[in-house]
Structure 1
Amino acid sequence: MMEMKFSTLYNLVNSMNSVYQKIQKASGLPSSEYWVMFSVYKDGSRFAHEICLSTFMSRQTASLAIKNLVRKGWLTVEVSPENRRTKELHTTEEGMIFAKQFIFPVGQLEEKAWSRLSPEEKESSITIMSRFRSFFIEEAEPLLKEVTP
């Protein structure tokens, strides 16, 4: 039986991320721009702060990527009617062409791979990762208290 170390899970997650990275590189977009498009088209993000949360990008990095995508004509930015200080992102036809080629197929691949798991495997995966996440957050609390002003 394989020795169960966290590094095994970590390496597995990184190897999955490398598939996403290869798709991003094949798209021809810089990483930050690709992940903004991914967040907008796949996750339904409409605001920069949502993109930052879903991609772990800094506000500055996300803002620069958004500006570049607006310049390319793939996104538009409008002042939100609910909050005049917030800018809302909208998709364009040009952006949709890109998304159909490099974003939506990723979601289809994820769903196909997920569908190959049994209902028990799906439930176990979610249960185990939820528990691990809770334990990780608990263990991180002292460190976060130490480094947060």
Structure 2
Amino acid sequence: MKSNLSSMAAIGLCAALTVSAVATPALAQAQMTVAQFLEAGRDIPRNRAAAMLRSDTRRLVRVATGAVSQVKSEQAAAERAGRRPNHCIPSSGTGITPETLVARFEGMPATRRNVTVTQAVRDWMSERYPCRA
């Protein structure tokens, strides 16, 4: 079954996630839960041009890039402080694609979808890029 959000995500998240994003000005966006993220993406049209004209599409892009930026900033801060970070994302990037982000979120148990998008990305990066001793 193809997700409605998968098509939307492919529109803008791919480019946005591969570039190091500047933190979003509204911290509230980063506090969106995974359930809210998936719900917000449900009604986004499949037509790329139409989807990018919608503010909700751009909002989801900002939420995802803000979460990735926050997690990468936390890693850099830990490294600067001489602490071992919780994850060791390579300098080449997270490797997150829109499809993998949506699949990850949709694969989360419903009881776990109440975490923020930032926390979900943080947990994923800790699993995907653990720091070696």
With normalisation by structure 1, the TM-score equals: 0.29
Q: Higher relative contact order by CA 8 Å / sep ≥ 6: 1 or 2? A: 2
Structure of higher CA gyration radius? 1
More strand by share: 1
